[in-house]
C-alpha cells in the first residue's frame, strides 16, 4: 500500500510538472513569430479539419479544446481527444490536459456503455501508428483507469519480486507497444518468427486487446490468468468485439503463461510435451497468437529479461507444435525415426571413415538419436571419433551461439553418478549460469552430456575460451586431480538483494508429463551453487537425470529434472518419492 501510494503521488507530481513545462513551452511559442507555422500546409489542414469536424483545435502545434464545456456537453470527447491526438500525431495543450483531469467524474457507466466511445477506444488501442503513446497519455490523465475500471485497480501496483521491473499498468502499456514494434518490423532481428507470422493473423484486433488485459487481474487472491479471462469475457463485448474475438481474447489471457512455462521447464524433445501443449492450443491460429503474445509479455517485463535462449526455446516449441496441429506430422516408428536420423547424420559427416562412424552409431541408444539435433550429432561424432583415435577417455566440444544467447558445452567422459554435479560445480565456481542440460549414457559406459550456458561475453571467441576453462576444470574433477570442495570454495557469494525475498520451497513429482520419465520440479530461492546441491542430492537418491531445464524468474529458481530410477524405470514407489 505504501509503495502504491508513493507511486501515485509521484505520478501526480510528474503530471503536474508536465503541465507546467507544456504551459511554459506554449507561452514561449506565442511570443515567437508565428507566420511560418501559419503557412505550413499540414498545420493549416489539421486546424481546418479539426475545427470543422470536432470540438477541438490546434493551438501552437498542440491539440486544445475549442471551449470550456467540451467535455460536459459531450463526455465522449474525453475519449475522442486521445483518438484525435493519435490520429494527427500531435501533443496535448496544457489547458486541454488540465480540463481532462478536472472532468474525470464525467466518465461513468453511461459513457463506458457508449458505443462510439468504445469504438474510438478500440481504434486507439489497435492503431497502426503508436498505440503505446496514446495509452500512456490516457493513463497519465487518469482516463484509462476510469474508462476500464479493472485497469484502474492495477494502476501503480507494484510487483514485489526481482523479476518484474515495472508496475502492472506500465507493463501492460509496454506490452502493447512491443506488439506494435513487432508489427512494424522493428524487432525483426530479435523476433524473426513473430515478425513473419503477425501479418498472417486473422485475429489482429483480439491480439491487441489480449495484450492490453492479460495481467489486468493481478493482485487478487485468485489466479490472475483465470480471473483475467473472466474480466475479458465481460469487457470484450462492451468494446464491440464479436463472440469469436471475445473467446479468443479470454483464451489468450487464461493461457498467456503456458507457452513460456512449457518452453522453459519442459523437455521439448519429449513427444509428450509437444502433444500436451498441442492439446491446450488446439489450432494453428491460436499457436501464432500465443507465440506473439508471449514474446511481447516477456519483453515488457523489463530490460535484460529477454534473451536469445528464451527465443530459441519458444521457436522450437512453435515449430514442433505446428505440424501436430496441422495433422501433418510423420507417422514413423521409433526404429524408422532412429534409422532415418543416422542416415541423415552419415551424409553430414561423410569424411569420417565408415568403420569409425559405425562404432560411433553403435554407442547410442534410440533416445539419443531422437532427443538431439543433427548439428549436435555432427559435433558429437567428430569429438568422439577424434578422442577414440587419440585413445583419450575424456573429450569436450564448445559451440557458441550468438543469436540464441547460449554457449553449448558437450562433455564425453567415463560415466560417473556425480558427473552432472561436477559439471554444475565447475560452472558455479566460474560464475557460469546453466540454463539447460541433456544427459546421455553410451553403451560402452561413457556419459555424453550437453550443457547450455547463458552467454556472458559479446565475442564468441571469449565465450569459447570460458567454456574451455570450465571443461578443463571438469576433466580435473573426473580424473580426481582436484576435489569438488576445492572447486566449490571458489563459488561467488549470494547477492545481497536476495536477502529481502523469501520463496517457499516446493517439490513436485509428476509421472504424467512424460511417457518414460518421472518429472521433478523444484521451486525455491535462487543462489550460487543451487544446481550443484540439487544434482548431488538427486545422485544420492540413486536417480538418473535424463535432462535438466533451468529457469530463473528474478529471485525464484524453477529447476525441472527428467529422471529415472533403478532399471531406467519411472519413480513410482511412494517411499522413494517421499525421500
Q: Which helix (H) or strand (E) holds 398?
A: strand 395-401
User: Could you tell me which residues are beta bridge partners of residue 256?
Assistant: none
**Rounded to an integer, what distance in angstroms lies between the CA atom of residue 468 and that of residue 396?**
8
| pTM of structure | 0.84
**Rounded to an integer, what distance in angstroms lies between the CA atom of residue 6 and that of residue 507?**
37
Q: How confident is the model at residue 207, as a pLDDT?
A: 98
Three cell numbers, residue 376: 549436435
How many beta carbons lie within 10 A of that of residue 291, not counting itself?
24
CB 488 within 8 A of CB 529: yes
**Rounded to an integer, what distance in angstroms lies between the CA atom of residue 442 and that of residue 360?**
10
Positive or negative, the CA dihedral 7, 9, 15, 17 is: negative
Q: How confident is the model at residue 170, as a pLDDT?
A: 93
**Rounded to an integer, what distance in angstroms lies between the CA atom of residue 406 and that of residue 433?**
10
**Rounded to an integer, what distance in angstroms lies between the CA atom of residue 488 and that of residue 516?**
34
Q: How confident is the model at residue 59, as a pLDDT?
A: 81
Chain centroid to Cα 49, Å, comes to 43
Q: Report residues of the chain scoring pLDDT below 50.
A: 35-36, 38-42
Closest CA to 77 of 116, 124, 43, 49: 116
Chain centroid to Cα 289, Å, comes to 14
Q: Which helix (H) or strand (E) holds 558?
A: strand 556-564
The distance between the two most distant Cα atoms of the chain, rounded to a whole number of Å, is: 90
How many beta carbons lie within 10 A of that of residue 575, not counting itself?
6
Domain boundaries, the chain: 1-107, 393-578
Give the list of residues 6+ apart from residue 222 with CB closer than 8 angstroms, or none: none
**Rounded to an integer, what distance in angstroms lies between the CA atom of residue 562 and that of residue 521?**
9
Give the three-state DSSP class for 511: coil
Total length of the chain = 579
Per residue, what are the HEC states of 433-491? CEEEEEEEECCCCEEEEEEEEECCCCCHHHHHHHHHHHHHHHHHHHCCCCCHHHHHCCC
Per residue, what are the HEC states of 311-354? HHHHHHHHHHHHHHHHCCCCCCCHHHHHHHHHHHHHHHCCCCCH
Amino acid at each position: 500500500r505504501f509503495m502504491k501510494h508513493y507511486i501515485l503521488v509521484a505520478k501526480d507530481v510528474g503530471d503536474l510538472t508536465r503541465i507546467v513545462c507544456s504551459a511554459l513551452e506554449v507561452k514561449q511559442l506565442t511570443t515567437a513569430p508565428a507566420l511560418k507555422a501559419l503557412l505550413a500546409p499540414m498545420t493549416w489542414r489539421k486546424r481546418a479539419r479539426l475545427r470543422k469536424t470536432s470540438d477541438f483545435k490546434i493551438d501552437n502545434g498542440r491539440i486544445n479544446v475549442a471551449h470550456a464545456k467540451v467535455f460536459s456537453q459531450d463526455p465522449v470527447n474525453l475519449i475522442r481527444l486521445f483518438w484525435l491526438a493519435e490520429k494527427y500525431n500531435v501533443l496535448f495543450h496544457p489547458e486541454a490536459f488540465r480540463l481532462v483531469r478536472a472532468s474525470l467524474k464525467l466518465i461513468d457507466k453511461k459513457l463506458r456503455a457508449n458505443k462510439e466511445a468504445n469504438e474510438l477506444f478500440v481504434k486507439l488501442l489497435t492503431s497502426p501508428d503508436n498505440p503505446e503513446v496514446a495509452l500512456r497519455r490516457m493513463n497519465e490523465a487518469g482516463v484509462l483507469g476510469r474508462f476500464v475500471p479493472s485497469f484502474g485497480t492495477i494502476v501503480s501496483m507494484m510487483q514485489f519480486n526481482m523479476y518484474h521491473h515495472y508496475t502492472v499498468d506500465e507493463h501492460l502499456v509496454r506490452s502493447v507497444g512491443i506488439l506494435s514494434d513487432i508489427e512494424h518490423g522493428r524487432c525483426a532481428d530479435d523476433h524473426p518468427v513473430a515478425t513473419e507470422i503477425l501479418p498472417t493473423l486473422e485475429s489482429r484486433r483480439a491480439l491487441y486487446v489480449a495484450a492490453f488485459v492479460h495481467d489486468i487481474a493481478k493482485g487478487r487472491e485468485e489466479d490472475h490468468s483465470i480471473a483475467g479471462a473472466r474480466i475479458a469475457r465481460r469487457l470484450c463485448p462492451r468494446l464491440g468485439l464479436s463472440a469469436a474475438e471475445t473467446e479468443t481474447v479470454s483464451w489468450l489471457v487464461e493461457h498467456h503463461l503456458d507457452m513460456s512455462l512449457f518452453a522453459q521447464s519442459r523437455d521439448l524433445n519429449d513427444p509428450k510435451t509437444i502433444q500436451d501443449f498441442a492439446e491446450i492450443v488446439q489450432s494453428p491460429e491460436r499457436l501464432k497468437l500465443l507465440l506473439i503474445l508471449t514474446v511481447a509479455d516477456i519483453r515488457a517485463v523489463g530490460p535484460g529479461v529477454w534473451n536469445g535462449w528464451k527465443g530459441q526455446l519458444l521457436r522450437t516449441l512453435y515449430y514442433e507444435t505446428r505440424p501436430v496441429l496441422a495433422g501433418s506430422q510423420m507417422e514413423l516408428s521409433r526404429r524408422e525415426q532412429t534409422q532415418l536420423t543416422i542416415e541423415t547424420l552419415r551424409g553430414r559427416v561423410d569424411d569420417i571413415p565408415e568403420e569409425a562412424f559405425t562404432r560411433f552409431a553403435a554407442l547410442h541408444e534410440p533416445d539419443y538419436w531422437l532427443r538431439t539435433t543433427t548439428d549436435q550429432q555432427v559435433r558429437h561424432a567428430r569429438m568422439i571419433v577424434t578422442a577414440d583415435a587419440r585413445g583419450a577417455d575424456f573429450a569436450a566440444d564448445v559451440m557458441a551461439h550468438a543469436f540464441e544467447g547460449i554457449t553449448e558445452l558437450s562433455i564425453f567422459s567415463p560415466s560417473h553418478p556425480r558427473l552432472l554435479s561436477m559439471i554444475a560445480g565447475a560452472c558455479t565456481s566460474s560464475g557460469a549460469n546453466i540454463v539447460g542440460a541433456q544427459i546421455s549414457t553410451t553403451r560402452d559406459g561413457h556419459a555424453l552430456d550437453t550443457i547450455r550456458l547463458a552467454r556472458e561475453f559479446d565475442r564468441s571467441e571469449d565465450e569459447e575460451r570460458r567454456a574451455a576453462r570450465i571443461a578443463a576444470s571438469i576433466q580435473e574433477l573426473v580424473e580426481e586431480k582436484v576435489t569438488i570442495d576445492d572447486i566449490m570454495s571458489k563459488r561467488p557469494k549470494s547477492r545481497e538483494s536476495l536477502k529481502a525475498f523469501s520463496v517457499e520451497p516446493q517439490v513436485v513429482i509428476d509421472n504424467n508429463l512424460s511417457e518414460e520419465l518421472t518429472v521433478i520440479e523444484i521451486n525455491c530461492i535462487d543462489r550460487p551453487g543451487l544446481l550443484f546441491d540439487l544434482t548431488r542430492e538427486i545422485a544420492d537418491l540413486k536417480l538418473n537425470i535424463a535432462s535438466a531445464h533451468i529457469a530463473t524468474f528474478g529471485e525464484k529458481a524453477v529447476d525441472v529434472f527428467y529422471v529415472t530410477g533403478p532399471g531406467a524405470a519411472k519413480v513410482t514407489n511412494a517411499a522413494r518419492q517421499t525421500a
